Structure 1
Amino acid sequence: MAWRERFEAPAADVASRRKRTKWLRAAFARVTTPLLPDDYLHLANPLWSARELRGKVVSVVPETADSATIVIKPGWGFSFDYHPGQYIGIGVLVDGRWAWRSYSLTSVPSASREDGTVAITVKAMPEGFLSSHLVKGLAAGTVVRLAAPAGEFVLPDPLPAKMLFATAGSGLTPIISMLRAMRRRGQAADVAVIHSVPTEDDLLFSEELRGMADDGLIDLHLQFTRSDGQVTPAKLRALCPDWAERQTWACGPGGFLDMLSEQFAEAGAADQLHIERFALERGATGAEGGIVTFGTPDRQIEVDGATTLLEAGEQAGVLMPFGCRMGICQSCVVMLDKGAVRDLRTGAEHVEGERIQTCVSAAAGDCTLDV
């Protein structure tokens, strides 16, 4: 099928699950050569692109003082056949460069198909430039780039008879999509929700969660850590005595997830715990760093030993493949042509000739990537 590969080549990198969409993109690319298809498509509609997924920000709705729900209308080629709990990548043009991050979808697939929008809920982090921009600096009407929905942390179908959602902070965001989907579908199960945040003011979706509890959809416990303390193993057993018997979905800070992992492992129920980590847990970063070359000498940047190769490429203006940005999905894997890099999670070193994950690796001296 070499002819098919040649025909589809102009749209080969577009994130779309539908073959018909890829063929249409490829056909349009062929008939508009030698000009880029986007030269024509953008004139008709800024959300049309033969090379990438795009979307327009419909609204930015504050949830708490430092978080907001961003409603986006995706353009041509976006598939609304995602699963509750999945995430999308969003790219925003800031100071002349595209900055990318991944966020859980808080919308429900069936509702998205009806109104043609998706939603993410973002908490502005003190160290997170892009998250702060999304919450406080993003305006309705902004055109953003999108990566297709992905992730295995999803609501199962059919539902288990007994479930536990254990979350902390913004770890609630993938879970709210699952709960909303259950309510919309009219699905019933024995569902316990344990969610911890510093204070009442930090609680996302407060009225909605309490409404679900009042309607009997969930058994809800809110743990306000500044007054009630952390969720400890003893607290977990007190709040949900049969926790080891439940299929559990957990999302939140690393320490919280580590505690749950230890408890489920000790109980011999590790296979019942499903975890989503929002951020790269950096272990031994080292102090190496170096000059990273992306394919050719004209694409180089010098970085420290704590900057991931993915971040380095984006800073250098290189179009880098990525997905979850946490070392889970393998979308960012490239070949290391020269030098050595270090895995920021474990400190393990990888050398030339190995395939590496750029989202969790940093330079251990000068190195060259095949991108």
Structure 2
Amino acid sequence: MTGLARTPIDDVTLRLADTAAWLTTPLMPEDYLTLINPLWSSRELRGRVEAVHPETKDVASLVIRPGRSWSTHRAGQFIRVGVDIDGVRHWRTYSLSSAPERGDGRVTITVKSVPGGVVSTHLVHRTTPGTIVGLTRPEGGFVLPEPVPSRLLFVTAGSGITPVMAMLRSLARPGEMPDVIVLHSAPTREEVIFGPELRTLAGRFPHLLLHEQHTRSSGRLNLSQLPDLCPDWPERHVWACGPTGMLREAETYWREAGIADRLRMEHFRPAVTTSAAGGGGHVRFLVSGREADADGATPLLVVGENAGVLMPSGCRMGICYRCTGRLRSGRVRDLRTGREYGEEGELIQTCVSAADGNVEIEL
């Protein structure tokens, strides 16, 4: 037998654990500990909301203390958050807006309440300190490399500033801020998420230039303005996050300049052509036992999340192939192209596929 020899203390510990398990059967000792503190669970990662800070009239940052199995994130990554509403757990994906270097063991997500958004409205307007939420570990590749380039450009709009804010907070160390330009669009000055903090950072660091485009008074930010706003833009490493139209324009702009490798983008939703919608139908999620009626224009990823299914997801754009599920019956339609597809046992991309009739998925 190989390995380290057991000591008398090890034997006593094992016997105590066995006794505790016997006394608490059918539950485990951990089940009782999590009744005292839900964050102690090692089987299910949870977090406790400790504060809710309004950012604008429809945006709030939630300060969350994660449980013990949390792993440190990288600036720009996202997590999925599980929220119980009327007895159903809904999962949504949010970027982390806090820097990894934050020293109090807490993280923040910043959520924009959207019309008809069940989860976003609940988080922004109804969540109170003490609320327990489900969490997943940090994911995503929209991050700063090591070492950090000496010249950076961030192009953001609306809530696209949230992952970039985590990067700026991480970079904002005394005497160490690299040369950074932030081009950010929002309808008005008051609707700039993190507006006061962004302006304070720009005042503190001479190498941080902030340009705010207030679209209601000045129109949308056009990339033809780029040479004036950032004359050395071809030489900078770029992170862009915002609406699909803005990202498409950026992708074309950098590709035609022959420097597409300098551009990193984060998408919040797929580029869907609603004219390509399917007929809709009843969707059964076989593993979770959830069911829902779906129209032909809503991605199955969203249908599942609304039904309380913890759906695998990544970019949510049909690019990374992580938003997948195995089709057991029925047909689906690709919302980007209108193509109907799907055979029994085939992996489908739930983020860009809608039901075209009744569907069963192994999720």
The answer, yes or no, to whether TM exceeds 0.5 is yes
**Would you say the 8 A contact 1:101–1:325 is kept in 2?**
no
Query: 2:249 corresponds to which residue?
Result: 259
- Please name the residue that 1:311 is paired with: 302
TM-score between both structures, scaled by the size of structure 2:
0.86
- The verdict on how the C-alpha distance between 1:300 and 1:128 changes in structure 2, with shifts beyond 3 A counting, is closer
Residue type of the alignment partner of 1:267? A
Match of 2:6 in 1: none
- What pairs up with 1:14-93 in 2 under 5 angstroms? 34-35=26-27, 39-80=31-72, 82-93=73-84
Q: Give the counterpart letter for 1:132 in structure 2.
A: T
Instruction: Identify the residue that residue 342 of structure 2 maps to in structure 1.
Output: 351
Matches of 1:42 and 1:333, distance apart in 2: 32
2:157 is the alignment partner of 1:165: no
Instruction: Indicate how the Cα distance of structure 1 residues 362 and 233 shifts in structure 2: closer, same or farther if over 3 A, else same.
Output: same
What percent of counterpart residues are identical?
A: 52
Are the counterparts in 1 of residues 91 and 308 from structure 2 also a CA contact under 8 Å? Answer: no
- State the Cα distance separating 1:254 from its structure 2 match: 1.2
Structure 1: distance between partners of 2:305 and 2:223: 41
2:222 pairs with one of 198, 221, 232 = 232
Query: 3-state DSSP class of the match of 1:259?
Result: helix
Which residue is 2:179 aligned to? Answer: 190
1:185 and 1:360, CA in 2 relative to 1: closer, same or farther beyond 3 A? farther
- Distance in 1, matches of 2:54 and 2:346, equals 45
* Structure with greater Cα Rg: 2
**For the residues of structure 1 that align with 2:48 and 2:289, how far apart are their CA atoms?**
33
Shift of 1:318: 4.4
Q: CA RMSD in A?
A: 2.5
**Superimposed CA distance per residue, residues 14-67 of structure 1 (whole angstroms, 9 cap, x where no aligned partner):** xxxxxxxxxxxxx9x988764367632322312233432100000001111111
2:92 pairs with 1:101: yes
- Distance in structure 1 (CA, Å) of the matches to 2:350 and 2:218: 40
Equivalent runs, 1:287-302 vs 2, <5 Å: 287-295=278-286, 299-302=290-293
Separation of aligned partners in 2, 1:308 and 1:38: 38
User: Which sits farther off after the overlay, 99-108 or 278-287?
Assistant: 278-287
Larger CA deviation: 322-331 vs 96-105: 322-331
Query: Post-superposition shift, 1:106?
Result: 1.0
| Cα deviation code 1:131-158 (max 9, x no counterpart) | 1211111101000000111110001221
Residue segments in structure 2 that go unaligned for 5+ positions in a row:
1-17
What is the aligned residue count? 341
**2-structure distance, mates of 1:45, 1:242:** 52
Q: Which amino acid aligns with 2:53?
A: V
User: Using the alignment, how far apart are the partners of 1:37 and 1:327 within structure 2?
Assistant: 42
CA contact (8 A) 1:37 1:49 kept: no
1:20 counterpart residue number: none
Q: Distance in 2 between matches of 1:222 and 1:37?
A: 54
Q: 1:330 to 1:76 in 2, by over 3 A?
A: farther
Letter in 2 for 1:192: I
Q: CA separation in 2, counterparts of 1:263 and 1:326?
A: 20
Q: Which residue of 2 aligns with 1:205?
A: 194
* CA distance in structure 1 between the partners assigned to 2:234 and 2:294 by the alignment: 45
